[in-house]
Amino acid sequence: MARHSDLRNTLSLDSLNFFLADVRDGLGPYLAIYLLALHKWDPASIGVVMTLAGIAALLTQGPAGALIDRTHSKRAVIAIAAILVTLSCLLLPFVSSFSLVALTQAASAVAASVFAPAISAISLGITGPRAFTRRTGRNETFNHAGNATAALLAGGLAYLYGPVVVFYLMAFMALASVVAISCVSASAIDHDVARGFDPTHSRDHTQPSGLRVLLANRPLLVFAICCALFHLANAAMLPLVSQKLAQINLHLATPLTSACIVAAQLVMVPVAWLVGIKADVWGRKPLLLAGFMILPVRGVLYTLSNDPYWLVAVQLLDGVGAGIFGALFPVIVKDLTQGTGRFNVSLGALSTAFGLGAALSSSLAGFVVQQAGYNAAFLTLAGVATVALGLLGVAMPETLVRGASVRRVTVA
């Protein structure tokens, strides 16, 4: 019976990550194409809307993590947030003014801010810290598979029915995630372990560490800065590519953007799986350095040609960089906060840091495009990525504790 329950939880978490994939990441480049093609918005205005949504998300990341630390209703939080995202997606085709579009995107971003800490918490609470790396790699594998599938569907449906169909597809994915989370067993989640307490010690009267412990954690602060710089460099690249594609061939812009996303996500699937299998063996830092190193290279390569197929090919590199980062991010936060009882609030705080970088990325790139063109924007982002790589190499320590064996469990 226990084995059946473990299998159900494993498959439910797989399904949850698959269906939430597109919902977690937001409309991103599809929104840029929709506003550019149907409403004739300029790149700077598109960037500001995406920045406002990013700011709304980053303001709620910390509180979202604190909520997940405290609540035992983690499944309900995910379900409610998914329903709110669904409503915002269904409203978007009926509004076109700057203020209303910004409002729908901000509301969706606020709701989606709970997904990452909630999924990590549920995973940690079910598997325990020793099997968490493998489970996180599996989470990211299904996340990227879901993104690839959604992008394929979005590209095909948009080609037939126009860019607006993407909003309805995302609403469907959000509702499917509600079904998936309802199938996770509530009794399988150890809520003390889920917030980062050590499962090998008694927690009868354990209180979470004070937040000052986190502020004094130098590696955690360095990692936060690296995350912010990484996303400042990375977040605007695909929207910029989608805008270039729209200028080259408006009718094919959405299908080609989907091709970019699918190409990257298909690469991320084995990359995330590899990280989940090998991060406890090879260590975190070598893998993370490889992921950061890809980003400046990608930014420069985008400037070499305007050929649509070249742009799609370069986007493959995003699969390596973002695939490694996504799989390692919660693992490194877990390493640096183990035993404090502050795992999810730390995850939220660092998500705020890289959310700030991502939010500023779209505006930075949009204004550089206005002043100097797309190539200058790509080179600017590549420069930021180079700074992030240097800081990571010099100041970030290895976080893997050597000698800790990985416990094999059926839910991993």
Contact indicator for 245, 256 with CB cutoff of 8 Å: yes
Residue with tokens 């699937």: 269
259 burial level (CB within 10 Å; 0-12, 13-18, 19+): buried
Phi and psi at 259, nearest 5°, equal -65, -40
Tell me the CB-side half-sphere exposure of residue 72, using CA atoms within 13 A: 7
Q: Where are the domains of the chain?
A: 9-190+212-395
- CA-closest candidate to residue 101, choices 182, 34, 185: 34
Six-digit token pair at 28? 């991103």
106 burial level (CB within 10 Å; 0-12, 13-18, 19+): buried
Q: What is the DSSP letter of 208?
A: P
Q: Where are the alpha helices (DSSP H) in 252-341?
A: 253-282, 284-301, 308-314, 316-337
Between CA 13 and CA 121 the distance in angstroms is 12
Phi and psi at 266, nearest 5°, equal -65, -35
Phi-psi label, residue 408: left if phi above 0, alpha if psi -120 to 50, beta otherwise: beta
User: What's the pLDDT at 76?
Assistant: 93
Between CA 209 and CA 33 the distance in angstroms is 46
Element holding 62 (H helix, E strand)? helix 43-70
Q: What is the DSSP letter of 304?
A: S
Q: What number of other Cβ atoms are within 10 A of residue 148's Cβ?
A: 23
Between CA 338 and CA 349 the distance in angstroms is 16
Between CA 139 and CA 144 the distance in angstroms is 9
> Between the CA of residue 101 and those of 92, 97, 98, 104, 107, what are the distances in Å?
7, 6, 5, 5, 10
Q: Which amino acid is at 389?
A: L
Between CA 163 and CA 6 the distance in angstroms is 40
User: What's the pLDDT at 250?
Assistant: 65
User: What's the pLDDT at 211?
Assistant: 55
* CATH 1.20.1250.20 is the classification of domain 9-190+212-395: yes
Contacts of 132 (CB under 8 A, 6+ apart): 123, 124, 330, 331, 334
User: What's the pLDDT at 202?
Assistant: 44
- CA-closest candidate to residue 337, choices 348, 327, 324, 326: 348
Between CA 211 and CA 65 the distance in angstroms is 13
The mean pLDDT values, 10 residues at a time, for the chain of 412 residues are: 72 92 66 69 75 80 87 92 84 79 84 90 90 91 86 78 78 89 91 81 51 73 92 88 74 70 84 92 93 94 86 86 91 88 85 81 85 89 95 92 48 38
Between CA 130 and CA 280 the distance in angstroms is 9
Between CA 257 and CA 166 the distance in angstroms is 12
Between CA 295 and CA 289 the distance in angstroms is 10
Contact indicator for 128, 409 with CB cutoff of 8 Å: yes
